[in-house]
Amino acid sequence: MNVNALIGEITDDLNDASSAPDLDALLAKAEGALRFDVADARLYSLIGEIKYRQEEKDQAYEFFDQARKLSKTEIHALQRSIGHSIEIGDLSKAVGEIDILLRRWPDRFPAIAEGLPTILSNPDGYQAVLAAIKADAPWRTSLFATLGRTPEGLDSANRLLLDLTGSGAPPKSRELSTIINGYIGQKEYDLAYRLFLFSLSDEERKLGGYIFNSTFEPSFSGKPFDWELRDQSGLEVTFSTSQDAVEGDGGATVRFLNTPVKNIALQQLIGLPPGSYKISLIASARNLKLPKELFWSIMCVDPAGEIARINISEGTYNRQSLSRKFSVGPGACPMQLLRLQTAAIAQSWRFRYVGTLVMHKLSIERLSS
């Protein structure tokens, strides 16, 4: 008798959604096969599933338990056992079983994702998940990705990140970005910005301010509210410290390559509370030719609209200071986008940008009322 073929046949019949399986016949086949191979965990699992569908759940779980004694990673028995553990409130056991399942079958995470809110809402379940993450469970990235999709999940994720701080398995930048972006997606901008500030290391806090890293130090965390720099044709953008800079002063260097430039992929989300402000730029330029305006803009993210802009001058100059006052109204704009851009609408070769711009510092200060 080919046990593998029989197991495949019974499994296919159980999974056939087009017709109701003959459970008694399938049970007889599985029990018959068990007499020839009493150590095959898959057969106990199949019998357990048949019993489960026959509403004989106590017997079903006995077979699932036997399957797991023979093979801790028998997938179907594990999944049923997880569901049962959640159902009876043994959430610590459920998390242990989830950990076993996902270490062996990482692609099964979506199958258990729906049980996570129940687990995390329970103190024992939450502590079990936290302990698993601290033990560097390989499914922690998937966990945070799932939690970042719903308001309830975001609350649990935020608490986990707080509890992981200072542990042997601190929050990872990717996990923080996932949850910060989750808050932004839910329009919880204040919570997103608070989590970003909380996530800063001691070194990163030295770069803090209304504009993070206002002197363009060559350090990118990849998190929202840090500088976002994308590759783009027509120009080169580099960050350098004053020690690394060839000509003494560090900052963000933009080299235009004598081509049209429609957008410049340098931007940062910021979170200004209502009030009056001044944005200031200290910049140097060499042979800078701007056929269309080049400027920093502060845009409201929601609702969309420009709050202020500061234009950059053409020519050659050293450490020129530019500034502009602006205000953010009460409740009018909870999150803003700071972006370097041109006024070019189309990439016409009549409008070619040439020269070098070095921005030493871009800062925002709050004005007294």
Report the pLDDT value the prediction gives residue 223, as an integer from 0 to 100.
93
Q: How many C-alpha atoms does 210 have within 13 Å on its Cβ side?
A: 21
- The answer to whether residues 252 and 191 belong to one domain is no
Question: Do both 251 and 164 map to the same domain?
Answer: no
CA proximity to 355, closest of 263, 257, 228: 257
For 137, the token pair is 């469970």
Task: Write down the pLDDT at residue 244.
Answer: 53
Q: Residue 3 burial by CB count (10 A; 0-12/13-18/19+): exposed, middle or buried?
A: middle
Structure tokens at 325: 């006052």
Please check whether residues 174 and 305 belong to one and the same domain.
Answer: no
Dihedral sign (CA 57, 63, 68, 71):
negative
Task: Indicate whether 98 and 246 sit together in one domain.
Answer: no
Instruction: Let me know whether 144 and 240 are in one domain.
Output: no
Residues of the chain with pLDDT under 70: 1, 242-248, 346-347, 369
CATH code (residue 244):
2.60.120.260
The boundaries of the domain holding residue 361 are 228-366
Query: Is 185 a member of any domain?
Result: yes
- Both 253 and 319 in one domain: the answer is yes
Q: Supply the pLDDT for residue 261.
A: 84
CA pair distance 244, 241, nearest whole angstrom: 5
First to last CA, the chain: 87
**Burial bucket for residue 314 (CB in 10 Å: 0-12, 13-18, 19+):** middle
From CA 228, how far away is CA 108, in angstroms rounded?
Answer: 34
96, with CB counted inside 10 A (0-12, 13-18, 19+), is middle
190 and 237 inside one domain: no
Domain boundary among 158, 179, 199: 199
Nearest-angstrom CA–CA distance, 292 and 305:
21
Contacts with 70 (C-beta within 8 Å, 6 or more apart), sequence order: 39, 40, 41, 44
Q: 334 in a domain, yes or no?
A: yes
| Residue 209: inside a domain | no
**Does some domain include residue 219?**
no
Last residue of a domain, one of 178, 199, 220: 199
Condensed to tens digits (0 to 9), the pLDDT of residues 67-111 reads: 999 999 899 999 999 999 999 999 999 999 999 999 999 999 998
Which CATH number is 15's domain given?
A: 1.25.40.10
Question: In this structure, is residue 213 part of a structural domain?
Answer: no
Look at residue 221 and tell me if it is in a domain. no
Domain end residue (candidates: 199, 220, 251) = 199
Same domain, 130 and 242: no
Q: Which of helix, strand or coil describes residue 125?
A: helix
pLDDT tens readout for residues 294-326 = 999 999 998 889 999 999 999 999 999 999 999
Task: Please tell me the total count of domains within the chain.
Answer: 2
User: What pLDDT score was predicted for residue 245?
Assistant: 45
Question: What are residue 326's DSSP bridge partners?
Answer: 277
What is the model's pTM?
0.85
CB atoms within 10 A of CB 355: 17
Cα–Cα dist 90/84, whole Å: 9
In sequence order, which residues have a C-beta less than 8 Å from that of residue 89 and are 6 or more positions away?
122
- Whose tokens are 């079983």? That residue is 97
Domain presence at residue 141: yes
Element (DSSP H or E) covering residue 11: helix 3-15
* Pairing status of strand 315-328 against strand 336-342: unpaired
Alpha helices (runs of H) in 148-262, residue ranges in sequence order = 151-164, 173-185, 189-199, 202-205
